[in-house]
Chain A
Amino acid sequence: MRWPMLVAITAASSLVMCAQAAGDFDPHDLSGHWNRTSRFQTFSNVWSGQGPTQGTEEAPFTAAGKARFEKNKPGYGPRAVPPAIGNDPMGTCDPLGIPRLLNTEVISPHQTMEIVQVPGRMIQFFEWHHDWREVFTDGRKLPSTDEVDPNWNGTSIGRWDGDVFVVSSAGFDDRTWLDKFGYPHSENMRLDERYRRRDRDTLELTMILADPETYTRPWVSDTKVFRIDREKSKRWDEQIYCVPTEEYKFNQRVRDVAGGKESKQ
């Protein structure tokens, strides 16, 4: 008797949860705090050093792209080196840029990506490194790379394609990485982000990257899944900046010592 009752309760709970998740929502309203819950912190389904390699893909590098990849020395993944001898931009508090802000750090407890929609713009706030980015929705055209200088987060416009919000970006600073594993891009990268609010609590994002200097074909990300965080706005702002003086001191006094460089204590 106990088992049927347990099954019935579980089924009823699942139905309630499904009903809540599928409840009223406007698919064109992306606003709120979102935490990424999907697994991959890489741009796409490449192996990041965790779990089995089966089912993962290889990055479609050009020769130049592969050479740049080899020069990047991350602190994470199968190619990780001690931060003391690495060159991850995060180690010097350089801006992480788009799409790395979307790929890696939007995850509890680094907390969260907030989307705000106002007339003419969609704004994304990222708690990790306390960064933000504007997507213009006022109908302007994406500038050519001759018209804008490269920026850390690129230059972005957005439009609705049915219930999918498409963000198109160009003009990226090539000092940023796609993710924390050292995947590179050139200044001529074009990036499309496709956001879809799957239900009241879930946001999906798929990205398509075109960068012929670095990758032989357009590279499609795995589907990033974000879950809404309604508690975030009830907490005090954490203000997780990356502070260069603190990072420098930490590198000098701990990371360099652990990595075999001479102690500066």
Chain B
Amino acid sequence: MAHRNSRILSVLAALLATAFSAVAHHGSNVSYHTDQTMTIAGTVTEWEFINPHPQIYFDVKTETGEIAHWAAEVLPTPSMMRNMKVGWTRTTLKPGDQIVLVCNPSRVAGAKACLAKELKINGKDWPMVPGGAAPGAAKGKQ
């Protein structure tokens, strides 16, 4: 039985490794602090729903009133996002949309780029990983 359990665990471990590698991101662990998150709000200036990874460009008003230009890359490819079947398209984000982004910060202090993890567009949550909830489905976040 113990042997069978260990075989099951091995298979599960292999499946998990495969699943992880399927969404492993080019250089994410070395470019970003994947064990840390930051929350940042801004106004969308561009949305690129293209390979290798979709990109959100947005402006953030700093405490001194200046505008900082930020970029966030999204981990899944466009085809992966479309396959989530929750409505991701090249027009999901439009210039002027208000976003709140939870993302992994760059390992370079002060760099205005991050790896997107969670996104709220004009008050609605949009899943960024396969299996995530449909837009606006998160509790009371309409």
Contact = CB atoms under 8 A, between A and B. Distances in A.
- Our verdict on whether A and B bind, yes or no, reads yes
Nearest to A74: B27
A247 B77 CA distance: 13
A88 B26 CA distance: 10
Interface in A232-252: 238, 240-243, 246-247, 249-250
Interface in A16-56: 37, 39, 41, 50-51
A107 B17 CA distance: 13
Contact of B27 (A50, A51, A80, A243): A80
Given A39-B14, A82-B30, A257-B111, A250 B53 contact: yes
A76 B23 CA distance: 12
A265 B57 CA distance: 10
Q: From DSSP, what is the main secondary structure of chain A's interface residues?
A: loop
16 contacts: A37-B18, A39-B21, A76-B26, A76-B27, A81-B27, A86-B27, A91-B26, A109-B76, A238-B79, A240-B51, A243-B51, A250-B48, A255-B73, A257-B111, A263-B69, A265-B69
Interface of A: 37, 39, 41, 50-51, 75-76, 80-84, 86, 88, 90-91, 107-111, 238, 240-243, 246-247, 249-250, 253-255, 257-260, 263, 265
Q: How many B residues touch the partner, as a band?
A: 35 or more
Interface string B25-59: 01101111000000000000000101111010100
A235 to B, nearest CB: 9
Contacts of A107: 18, 21-22
Q: From DSSP, what is the main secondary structure of chain B's interface residues?
A: mixed
Interface in B95-142: 106-108, 111-115
Contacts of B72: 254
Given A253-B57, A259-B31, A242 B17 contact: no
Nearest to B114: A258
